[in-house]
Structure 1
């Protein structure tokens, strides 16, 4: 169910000549893992001028069709005039950064965006259900959400957008046993619990399509009677999407089909998801970042429905997202793993 941010805020109330759509989008991290897919699908719509704001030292390969501005966005707020200038006139700022980047970097971007009067920000949130506080607390993400929300509220300029897509499927499948339990080099598979806990998981391309579709909606309802989907309906809320709803055992069946293997070809073990999470949590508190995947993934497989969005209705149909082929996505994840393209943590 979508709730408008303000029933009185409609396109007809805007100044004459105002556009009721998003035309200018800025993105931090356009060449990164998720950023390149967001950029690719935004460009495909041919509805937006997309500006990549990238560090002067960046060597990332960026797609054609982007407007590229090289700016050091890690500078202090007293020295960010160049960043503010780059953000002026932008309607949306998409922030895509590693979870290991100092959190203050995101806050600096929020403050620069406020100075530039950017109305919408997606503040580096592509994953967990942002409304599930027990899940976020157990995944060390609640403080990050609350810190960003508090800063946005304090600044009083922008509204947040967040993408609830859970784990990226190809990345999680091929990224080692700490994630979905698979090691394709050693051909081992670890079941978390009985392996029958379902979760929603999303491909990178589906994430890109979702954001491109969201930003292609009308910004505001035309008038009070207009009930069609709008971008404003997702302000300070979340977009819920998925490519697949799967258990680990469902994934394994797809893996066997793709690889032409049987159970006998794999070494299969079983561990408690709760114990894996506790071990990962304890290691993280001691400063061991290599335990982060183990901690955050095992928490999704608790038998409490957290990885299944607690049964929330998805927005796939509203955004006209396609039904994807599971085995194709599985093959892509395995291929990435075999080529060594994914970060790998035991």
Structure 2
């Protein structure tokens, strides 16, 4: 890959990201991206949303309503023209082909960078992505972006969202807060990286606050371009289930005797989930996804093998109990579906 320098760009080149578009800015993850991008005050943030959408958009975000579900992408291309970065945050239940349509529109509009709805698994871990049923999604979207020859992709590797996953029932991090039960996968001591929603928002806002290109051959400062067609690794916590349980007990004022604790093999849970998927149970996908992450082979801990970009992106050290309390509330109120 040829290194580009700021000094060689056309007159008027600012070397800063000043315009960012988000599809899904009112959603679960998108709102944190939008809020933190706006908070920096360094750029114009535009939410691209369907005409029928009733999602509340974060304050300070410009809204452009576009029907991007049909075959005619004229309006979408026009909405994306002049944008430097496109962030796509969509549900896994989004209609097949929607992300591809948006990516192709971004290429037509000349958008240099795309975050293509990858906010989680270590994208460089082929075995993990394959067993989690993500490898075809990863390969198809990344290869399409590269084949179009216009945009570069950026993948945020943050693993599972902590508050969502802890409060999301026993098929995720093993906790059921309404029943006060806990399923420990194997011995409960397999550590994984996990990130909060705000940390993900800060990571993207700070990433897009970097210079786009090095000024010249001597410039060693961090730039956005160094992440082209690659991954950003961040994390809030490196914890195992027992660490989470200790935090839960501190937050709830409970002890071991207040909980029903059982043990299951992570590998067997994954196998059972795969079998259920093959029988047509869509609910089993969650069990497959989370059980695989807790295999005792270290796949869930990319911090030890890849390192993190937390310091480069000036991300704060977070308080585990603070986000555990949020997760407990979510679990008790049934906020995670």
1:44 to 25, 31, 39: 39
Matched residue of 1:245: which SS?
strand
1:182-217 Cα distance to aligned partner (Å, 9 max, x none): 000011000011100000000000000000000000
TM-score (normalizing by structure 2): 0.98
**Structure 1 position 11 matched with structure 2 position 6:** yes
Which residue of 1 is the match for residue 284 of structure 2? Answer: 291
TM-score computed with the length of structure 1 as normaliser = 0.96
Alpha-carbon distance between aligned partners in 1 of 2:249 and 2:336, rounded to the nearest angstrom? 21
Q: Secondary structure at the match of 1:307?
A: coil
Q: 2:85 aligned with 1:115, yes or no? A: no
Give the stretch that moved more between structures: 67-76 or 332-341: 332-341
Does 1:86 pair with 2:82?
no
Which of 155, 170, 175 aligns to 1:162? It is 155
Number of corresponding residues: 336
Q: What SS does structure 2 have at the residue aligned with 1:56?
A: coil
Is the CA contact 2:49–2:64 (under 8 Å) kept in the aligned structure 1? yes
Matched, 1:315 2:309: yes
Task: Indicate the residue corresponding to 1:324 in structure 2.
Answer: 318
Residue 121 of structure 2 contacts residue 157 of structure 2 at CA under 8 Å; is this kept in 1? yes
Alpha-carbon distance in structure 2 between the residues aligned to 1:289 and 1:208: 29
Q: Offset of 1:95 from its aligned partner?
A: 0.2
- Cα distance in 1 for partners of 2:311, 2:96 equals 34
Q: What is the aligned partner in structure 1 of residue 329 from structure 2?
A: 335
Deviation of the 1:72 alpha carbon: 1.1
CA–CA distance in 2 between the matches of 1:307 and 1:227? Answer: 31
Give, in whole Å, the separation in 1 of the partners of 2:83 and 2:191: 39
**Deviation of residue 284 (structure 1)?**
2.0
Instruction: Tell me how large the CA RMSD over aligned residues is.
Output: 0.9
Deviation at 1:225, TM superposition (A): 0.9
Q: Which residue of 2 aligns with 1:27?
A: 22
Could you say which residue in structure 2 is the equivalent of 1:55? 50
CA distance in 1, matches of 2:266, 2:111: 41
Q: What's the offset of the Cα at 1:103? A: 3.5
- Structure 1 distance, partners of 2:56, 2:38, is 15
Structure 1 residue 136 displacement after superposition: 0.3
Does residue 91 of structure 2 align to residue 102 of structure 1? no
Tell me which of 239, 246, 266 is aligned to 1:246.
239
CA distances 1:97-121 after superposition (whole Å, capped 9, x unpaired): 0112133100000111011010100
1:289, distance to aligned residue in structure 2 (A): 1.5
Deviation for aligned residue 1:339:
2.3
Per-residue deviation at 1:152?
Answer: 1.1
Distance of 1:272 and 1:41 partners within structure 2: 39
5+ residue gaps, structure 1: none
Tell me if the contact between 2:35 and 2:59 (Cα under 8 Å) persists in the aligned partners.
no
Q: CA deviation at 1:138?
A: 0.1
Contact 2:196 2:323 in 1 (8 A): yes
**Deviation string for 1:241-273 (max 9, x for gaps)?**
000000000000000000000010000000000
Deviation at 1:288? 1.8
1:142 counterpart residue number: 135
Pairing 1:230-241 to 2, within 5 Å after superposition: 230-241=223-234
Q: Deviation at 1:57?
A: 1.1
Alpha-carbon deviation of 1:279? 1.1
Structure 2 Cα separation of the partners of residues 311 and 263 of structure 1: 33
